[in-house]
Amino acid sequence: MSNSVGHSHAGHPHEHAAHEHGHTADEHEHAVAEVVPASNDNLLLDIGADTGALVIHAAADRDEKEIEISPAGEQARAHNVVRRREVLNGAVYAAVFPAVTAGDYIIWRDANTPAGSVTVRGGTVTTFRL
């Protein structure tokens, strides 16, 4: 079995004999770096030729609230929830639409009030600050 520091451990895992670099199996542990997300809200963006992603940044008071978008000129709306997301320098609050067909969209502040509009392009991530 190979491990991350470039040597192998032969034999049974409870074997007490020394192995090639001078310590016993009981004295030897390898630390395994594991990145654990701050939340279980892992994102996978599904972008490509005709599909982009839209990230709408919001204030902390919108945490757990829905944000709606609609293609320009259409009534049908899609929604997503604003969530706290851990980043290197702290936290941000954002609703993420991971797969949006390229085109122009209206972002709704509430059920009746548009907050603005964006153009989503395929293969890219578009951002908007609410």
**Euclidean distance between CA atoms 56 and 69, whole angstroms:** 10
How many CB atoms within 10 Å of residue 107?
20
User: For 20-39, how does the pLDDT look when each residue is reduced to its tens digit (9 = 90+)?
Assistant: 444 444 444 444 444 444 45
User: For 29-73, how does the pLDDT look when each residue is reduced to its tens digit (9 = 90+)?
Assistant: 444 444 444 454 567 777 889 999 999 999 999 999 999 999 998
pLDDT at 41: 57
Class of the CATH-defined domain 51-129? mainly beta
Does the structure show a pLDDT above 50 at 100?
yes
The two three-digit tokens of residue 32, written as one number? 């395994």
- Pinpoint the residues of the chain covered by CATH 2.60.40: 51-129
Residue for token digits 């972008």?
47
- Average pLDDT of the segment spanning 106-120: 95
